[in-house]
Amino acid sequence: MIEPSSTERELESALLSLDRSAARSILTAHRTAGTPFQLIEGVITPVLERIGEGWEHGRVALSQVYMAGRICEDLVDELLLPADVDHRSPEMAIVVLEDYHMLGKRIVTCTLRSSGFHLADYGQMGVRGCVDRVKEDGIKILLISTLMLPSALKVENVREELDRAGMKVKIMVGVAPFRFDDRLWEEVGANASASTASGAIEIVNRVWKEIG
């Protein structure tokens, strides 16, 4: 296991204490030393993943996991410069499908936005609401996060509804069920699966080129 850097330890402590001001100072200092992607991938992602693991092992409260994600997401939006956003990015959205675990979505959202992509955050939705929103917004790439297997299997319903509506939406999936079964994404009709936030960026870039 890789030991966390002093910056990561400081940020983790600030987030677990719900100290937004301290977290802002840490991220501001790191932001000037690199790119937005380095801020997310090198500091925020490993810290949030450790906090999530802490919850899984009973060391961290679910409220701390939730607030840590909210603080990081808000601060990344605050610290990004306008020039960091690529307004040429495709119509893209991310959703937690019939599930209530937001950490994975928060990490991917922060990473993509920090890398210049604009995407709509649908929060938590059921199949019907998600499909309606995708059609209304004309989404080209839909990222779906699920933690539990029953929710992951609902991706197939989203695919069927979108196909029935004649929408050629590229669906990307991620989080636990798709890591445990590396062929599950194909079985539910997704176009790709990513196990990490950086992997999501690679796939989005590839899919973007495919859809022109």
pLDDT tens digit sequence for 64-107: 888 888 888 788 767 765 444 555 567 999 999 988 777 778 77
- SS3 of 47-86: the string is HHHHHHHHHHCCCCCHHHHHHHHHHHHHHHHHHCCHHHCC
Q: Between these two residues, 86 and 188, which has the higher pLDDT value?
A: 188
Question: What is the rounded CA–CA span in Å between residue 146 and residue 90?
Answer: 23
pLDDT tens digit sequence for 145-185: 987 888 999 999 999 999 999 999 999 998 778 888 889 99
pTM of the model: 0.70
**pLDDT(35) > 80:** no
**pLDDT(1) > 60:** no
The β-bridge partners of 143 are 94, 172
pLDDT band at 209 (very low <50, low <70, confident <90, very high): confident
Q: Where in the chain is the domain with CATH 3.40.50.280?
A: 92-211
Question: What is the rounded CA–CA span in Å between residue 135 and residue 53?
Answer: 36
Classify domain 6-84 by CATH number. 1.10.1240.10
Q: What is the mean pLDDT of the chain?
A: 85
- Cα–Cα–Cα angle for 150, 121, 96, rounded to 5 degrees: 10
- Cα–Cα–Cα angle for 84, 13, 62, rounded to 5 degrees: 90
Paired tokens of 88: 């040429």
DSSP 8-state symbol, 115: T
Range from 30-44, 49-63, 138-152, 157-171 carrying the lowest mean pLDDT: 30-44
State residue 83's pLDDT score: 45
State residue 169's pLDDT score: 95
State residue 18's pLDDT score: 95
In single-letter form, the type of residue at position 152 comes to A
Are 172 and 194 in contact by the 8 Å Cβ rule? The answer is yes
Question: What is the rounded CA–CA span in Å between residue 21 and residue 14?
Answer: 8
Q: Where in the chain is the domain with CATH 1.10.1240.10?
A: 6-84
Element spanning 194, H or E: strand 192-194
- Give domain 92-211's CATH superfamily: Cobalamin-binding domain (3.40.50.280)
